[in-house]
Structure 1
Amino acid sequence: MCGLAGFLSTSVHPDATAGVITSMLSNIRHRGPDEAGYYLDDGIAMGAVRLAIVDPADGSQPMSDPSGRYWICFNGEIYNHIELRAELARLGRPFRTDHSDTEVVLQAWIQWGSDCFTRFNGAFAVAIRDALTGDLVLARDRYGKRPLFYADHGDDFLFASEMKAFRAFPGFRFALDPSELATTFGVWTPLPDRTPFHGIRQLPTASVLTLSGGRRSLRPYEDLDFDVPGFDGTEAEAIDFVRDTLRTSVEMRLRTDVEVGVYLSGGLDSSIVTRLATQLSPHQVRTFSVAFQDKTFDESDSQSLVAEHLGTVHCTVPITSSDITDNFPAAVYHAEVPTFRTSFVPMFLLSRHVRDAGIKTVLSGEGADEAFLGYSLFRETLLREQWNELSDDQRRTRLANLHPELAHFGPAHQAHLLGLYQQFSVERLPGLFSHEMRYQNGRFAARLLADRRDPFADLLDLVAAAPGYPGMSAVHKAQWLEYKTLLAGFLLSTQGERAALAHSVENRCPFLDPAVVRAAASVNLRYDDGQIEKAILKKAFRAELPEWTTSRPKQPYRAPGSAAFKDSRPEYLELLLSDGELAKIDCLDHKFARRLIDKIMSSPVEEISTKEDQTFVYLLTTAVLNQQFVLGDGSGRPGASAPADLDLRVTVDNRRAVQKVGER
């Protein structure tokens, strides 16, 4: 796990190039505190900060092939690097390291070009430089586990694992983009190629960007496809198939030169990962979780029961509302995007504890609900699609089973729910049927902005252009949207990778192995009477987990919202409470924002709706980002000093070479 940064520039004086790339890397040093280095050539600088997990002795970056023509900066892990190395060696590719996956990526690129990315089972962002042609290639993994941003700054081109690296480039300035904020508020995350800042883009998942001779080409190397052949076997065979595929995935993610821990939420998915890790790890598995002081959000009893049942060394990090508010600005700084929940802050604190415990790598259950249709959203979509074919009794029964954990889905609210679901039984936003109810909260949040543009226009364009999307079932469309928006844009980034890498911890997700995703698609809806209950997954591990783990309704991970800030009144809340501070975010509808703030601060918690709570968190995260990136020094809190420069251990400078590679 690492972070990378670089630029193509004609404006930076050659004598200043090393200082600029060093400062860019300094701004992301939390991603890789073990080692850092950069590569310089005419018109380009690129570098990496390294968290040494695989081949700590020989995996230094930037790395070149033996000829010195190709150079790579790599962020991530390729879990099938052993198999790929053996295949490449048989094809005659030379290796100088014993088992560096970075060298495998480089040699795979030289051998197969951009086709190599479809062969990688892993989480990655990569920059590859061809010193002979001057080409630069950027690529990102298929599910968006590792970030990669880029921006045009005049005639210069910048790229980095985190946007904060751009602050070190001469003359670069951040500015919030109202149109992108509208989409972010509406959809709950930026779209796959967007960010909330003007002029900064994100490399989409499963994509390759090539810069060659002043030309630029962006294309996908793989499409997201759930239309796989159904598993052709008995239920017992399907159970073995899913179990074996997951076991292989966990085994591959335990390939590392450091100890691997597990995030244990207490639910089905993380319990399965923990169970497999206890069977496969050479160490007694250490598990980590958060416990909330507010019992509304706490699942520590479940976590402890699973840990005891599986025999792990378990550690619980207690979280209070004050912990969330005290650490909120720092967590937002690492997230770099407005968000609708505070749930990323406890994960930020958990990763800090994991780092202090000496663990660099953790497994988690993220991605299971997307692959195996675990969210109530999928059951809700199926219900709404079938609504007009059901009797009133069937509708009531299905509604009661949708959200058993939520009081407002109880019997007293049945009449209201029947009317609501009847209203949303017909598609209104083309292609977004599954998410229309949830996007109503986003539509409300978009009212924060003075420019009332359609917050879903860009998403509608995205799905309209997606290959095969119109022919998908309603449930598969819902699944596609989850992968492309909330999973990549919040769960894997803000709440996942960004919270973990803030403290130099790498997270690995066995359920996001391509083979697991395909296996899930082949068994979903085939062995559970047309309902969506994770039937095969539960049956595969029922005998090895506590009974309630596979029988209880799903408990979504949540954290205290606006009430935490109202109760503690942290100093930075003045960004909203002061009209003068609020006015500094010039794209807001300040009257609407003021009405919302006043209601949140003066009303009892039970009178604050979900959409109001989410919109308040959006507003506060936007205000903090505006202070940190647009107005402030970008260091994570107003008034703090900038990150210190790195002590670079590896430097490669080709600018003074008399002959280029290939001219000899």
Structure 2
Amino acid sequence: MCGIAGISNPAVRAEALAVDIRSMLAHIGHRGPDGAGYVVDHGFAMGAVRLAILDPQWGAQPFSDRSGRYWLCYNGEIYNYRELRMTLEAAGYSFQTRCDTEVVLNAWIAWGPDCLKKFNGGFAFALYDSASGELVLARDRFGKRPLFYAQHGNSLLFASEMKAFLAIPGFAFEQDPGQLSSILGQWTPLPHQSGFRGIDSLPMGQWLSWKDGSLVTHTYTDLRFDAGPDVATQAEALQLVRERLTRSVELRLRSDVEVGVYLSGGVDSAIVAALAGEFSSRPLSTFSVEFEDAEFDESAEQKLISNHLGTRHHAQRITYADIADSTPEAVYHAEVPAFRSAFVPMYLLAKRTRQVGIKVILSGEGADEAFLGYDLFKETLLREAWNQLAEDARRSKLERLYPHLSHYGPEDIAAVTGLYHQFSSEKMPGLFSHELRFQNGQFSARLLNDPAPPFQAISDYVAANGGYQKLSSVEKAQWLEYKTLLPGYLLSTQGERMSFSHGVENRCPFLDPEVFALATSINLKFDDGFTEKRLLREAFRGRLPDAIIDKRKFPYRAPDAAAFAAQRPDYLDLVLSDGELEKMPFLNAKFAQRLANRVLERPASEISTKENQTFLYLLSICLLHRKFVQRQGLSEPILPPLEKAVNLAETGGAYASQGNFNSVT
């Protein structure tokens, strides 16, 4: 199952709620085009749209226990469901299906909230106790699957995507300038933010209970950097990396449909593809984006990996026109402002993947966060040590800082030297590692009239975490990445939101609790951290071409403002027209219009990174305003085929079996 939604309002009859829940599910039908189902009760309704992956014949939702008391709508996959099922069976629980949905339900009945710590997977679910009237919402530890909720009058609304709330009469979307300032500053929403007033995102690693109008949130797990094994030698570390990643991939291949792999051209997805191929009895299907603009293209490396592994490779070529044409729809599915256009090619790649017939893919997200693959981590180490290093040591490390930049030379090193002098001590409490990145965010915040302090929300967020200050500088950098850019952009806007827009589920082997625990225990233990992901690379040397193993980090990017300047789509009026900009009084229209004209009229070589980034923010904010606030340009929602509809108000809660139900029209 891949999309859920629901309403709780004691004053509304079941029949009226049935109309609303059907409409909510239609708005997110792209997440689960294989089927839909819902349950209604006195003052409550919830449902799910289905992507049939495990037990397609009997996996329809909502799912109840035999008594009909507990009802579950579940989005995602629990990869260790077979092992949990065996434990539950030994405790006396029986099962009617082969689906992980039933494992989740029985696990909650058996263990309550403690079951959440046992789940290895990406999930969001809603569980309704028809006897007590309590509703529980829960989300996985890394924020793989989304879950939003809002209090609307006497109702609590929840859904996998906010667009489901478009179905609710009287619900008005309003962009929140305070949240927008925070998003512009740090590049991404914080775990609880949505960008819209009155809508919250349930943070990763949390669950909430709703009963009698009272909402209480709970944290069941958080990132720990001291839970890994005690590794004595590098050889042992390399062996454990191979073992844990192999097991993680094996778990994520559990499926009753074919599983493919996204190949970026880098080492992370290549490792995933190599391991997946070892468990496959047929050639693996792989998918990549190629770019017409050679600056962004990694097709040579993608073909090298595919040929080496013998995969059936599918490439989606991306042009400036593709990006310009698809941005409005991709932004609609993203639902939050974006600082780059790289999510748009992923939207088109997911479309191609589904056309080929693949519903499930594996990808390499999470490797850079776990194994210190970003320049951010090297920069943090160097800035922290800066004042204790001699001049020759500083220069030596600066020369190793950006090996992937062919133009990085003496003049750049001199400029970075001055910057590191300036940022060698912490200026923003708790945010030392990200202070350089946040400089661009300060510029982007100028899009708003009288913006709230852009870094106040994230400062408060880290200050509220008791264990955060005890972490090392690099661990703090990792913690921030796992809490911000990873779930807020990479896993959502660029990841699951694009894949599920076409009914494709993405799974990330590097986002495994055991892999995370291992990586955080061996990082920097056997090297100085200036060769990114060295242990990961060495663990798989010999199983992949050296050209891939030794290839330095090549950040995945796509043409940004240049694509829009070249194509001039009609919707650019949103950022160029006085009349359009005035519809959003929270925007600094003069600054926005001046920026848009500069970016669209000047050569790309004259546009700075912060200008490019701010233009994409402006464009996506305006497109979201048109789609959600003004409700213009929306497609007619389509409800997938109805598989199950249950009215507990008519049956008094009785429900004999999963095969029998009462239809609600």
Q: TM-score range by the shorter chain?
A: over 0.9
Alpha-carbon shift at residue 485 of structure 1 (Å): 0.2
**1:74 partner SS:** strand
Q: Kindly report the root-mean-square deviation, in angstroms, between the aligned alpha carbons of the 2 structures.
A: 1.5
Asked if the contact 1:140/1:146 (under 8 Å) is kept, the reply is: yes
1:579 match: 578
Alpha-carbon shift at residue 421 of structure 1 (Å): 1.1
2:20 match: 20
Alpha-carbon shift at residue 402 of structure 1 (Å): 1.9
CA 1:547–1:43: 2 relative to 1, 3 Å = same
**1:489 partner SS:** helix
Alpha-carbon shift at residue 530 of structure 1 (Å): 5.5
2:294 match: 295
Is 1:436 the counterpart of 2:430 in the alignment? no
C-alpha separation in 1, matches of 2:142 and 2:121? 9
2:366 match: 367
1:565 match: 564
Q: TM-score scaled by structure 1?
A: 0.97
1:320-341 Cα distance to aligned partner (Å, 9 max, x none): 0110010000100000000101
1:337 match: 336
Asked if the contact 2:341/2:558 (under 8 Å) is kept, the reply is: yes
Name the amino acid aligned to 1:648: L
Is 1:542 the counterpart of 2:541 in the alignment? yes
**1:533 partner SS:** coil
C-alpha separation in 2, matches of 1:12 and 1:69? 20
Alpha-carbon shift at residue 577 of structure 1 (Å): 1.4
| Greater alpha carbon shift after TM alignment, 406-415 vs 116-125 | 406-415
2:614 match: 615
Gaps of 5+ in 1: none
| Greater alpha carbon shift after TM alignment, 640-649 vs 255-264 | 640-649
2:646 match: 652
Name the amino acid aligned to 1:654: L
C-alpha separation in 2, matches of 1:562 and 1:402? 27
Name the amino acid aligned to 1:343: A
1:38 match: 38
Asked if the contact 1:524/1:532 (under 8 Å) is kept, the reply is: no
**2:540 partner SS:** helix
C-alpha separation in 2, matches of 1:479 and 1:659? 47
1:406-465 Cα distance to aligned partner (Å, 9 max, x none): 366422222221111110111011000000000110111011000222111010011011
1:544-587 Cα distance to aligned partner (Å, 9 max, x none): 11102121211010000111111110011111111111111111
1:34-58 Cα distance to aligned partner (Å, 9 max, x none): 1100010111000000000011011
Alpha-carbon shift at residue 660 of structure 1 (Å): 7.3
2:85 match: 85
Name the amino acid aligned to 2:548: T
C-alpha separation in 2, matches of 1:295 and 1:658? 64
CA 1:480–1:537: 2 relative to 1, 3 Å = same
1:287-335 Cα distance to aligned partner (Å, 9 max, x none): 1100000000000001101111111111111000110010000100000
> How many equivalent pairs are there?
656
Q: TM-score scaled by structure 2?
A: 0.97
1:453 match: 452
Asked if the contact 1:387/1:425 (under 8 Å) is kept, the reply is: yes
Is 1:642 the counterpart of 2:636 in the alignment? yes
2:599 match: 600
Q: Give 1:185-196 correspondences, 5 Å limit.
A: 185-196=184-195
Asked if the contact 1:178/1:451 (under 8 Å) is kept, the reply is: no
| Greater alpha carbon shift after TM alignment, 421-430 vs 385-394 | 385-394
Alpha-carbon shift at residue 658 of structure 1 (Å): 4.3
1:221 match: 220
Asked if the contact 1:184/1:191 (under 8 Å) is kept, the reply is: yes
Asked if the contact 1:372/1:524 (under 8 Å) is kept, the reply is: yes
C-alpha separation in 1, matches of 2:236 and 2:112? 38
| Greater alpha carbon shift after TM alignment, 650-659 vs 380-389 | 650-659
Name the amino acid aligned to 1:416: A
C-alpha separation in 1, matches of 2:591 and 2:314? 43
Gaps of 5+ in 2: 656-665
Identity of aligned residues (%): 56
2:137 match: 138
C-alpha separation in 2, matches of 1:333 and 1:530? 39
**1:210 partner SS:** strand
2:319 match: 320
**1:543 partner SS:** coil
C-alpha separation in 2, matches of 1:659 and 1:317? 50
Alpha-carbon shift at residue 642 of structure 1 (Å): 2.2
C-alpha separation in 2, matches of 1:189 and 1:658? 46
Alpha-carbon shift at residue 18 of structure 1 (Å): 1.1
C-alpha separation in 1, matches of 2:146 and 2:529? 36
Name the amino acid aligned to 1:458: A
Name the amino acid aligned to 1:442: G
Name the amino acid aligned to 1:510: P
Asked if the contact 2:125/2:139 (under 8 Å) is kept, the reply is: yes
| Greater alpha carbon shift after TM alignment, 386-395 vs 456-465 | 386-395
C-alpha separation in 2, matches of 1:641 and 1:132? 39
Alpha-carbon shift at residue 14 of structure 1 (Å): 3.9
Q: Give 1:44-443 correspondences, 5 Å limit.
A: 44-97=44-97, 99-229=98-228, 231-406=230-405, 409-443=408-442
C-alpha separation in 2, matches of 1:449 and 1:407? 36
**1:370 partner SS:** helix
Name the amino acid aligned to 1:457: Q
C-alpha separation in 1, matches of 2:229 and 2:131? 47
C-alpha separation in 2, matches of 1:530 and 1:484? 22
1:3 match: 3
**1:557 partner SS:** coil
Asked if the contact 2:80/2:120 (under 8 Å) is kept, the reply is: yes
Asked if the contact 1:231/1:238 (under 8 Å) is kept, the reply is: no
| Greater alpha carbon shift after TM alignment, 388-397 vs 588-597 | 388-397
CA 1:615–1:656: 2 relative to 1, 3 Å = same
Name the amino acid aligned to 1:650: K
Alpha-carbon shift at residue 155 of structure 1 (Å): 1.1
Name the amino acid aligned to 2:637: P
**2:651 partner SS:** coil
Asked if the contact 2:228/2:518 (under 8 Å) is kept, the reply is: no
| Greater alpha carbon shift after TM alignment, 406-415 vs 610-619 | 406-415
Asked if the contact 1:409/1:417 (under 8 Å) is kept, the reply is: no
Name the amino acid aligned to 2:595: L
C-alpha separation in 2, matches of 1:349 and 1:532? 33
Alpha-carbon shift at residue 386 of structure 1 (Å): 0.6
Asked if the contact 2:192/2:202 (under 8 Å) is kept, the reply is: yes
C-alpha separation in 1, matches of 2:467 and 2:10? 42
**1:417 partner SS:** helix
Asked if the contact 1:297/1:559 (under 8 Å) is kept, the reply is: yes
CA 1:486–1:441: 2 relative to 1, 3 Å = same
C-alpha separation in 2, matches of 1:42 and 1:67? 18
**1:138 partner SS:** strand
Name the amino acid aligned to 2:517: R
1:240-297 Cα distance to aligned partner (Å, 9 max, x none): 1110100000001111000000001110100100110111123310111000000000
**1:649 partner SS:** strand
**2:132 partner SS:** coil
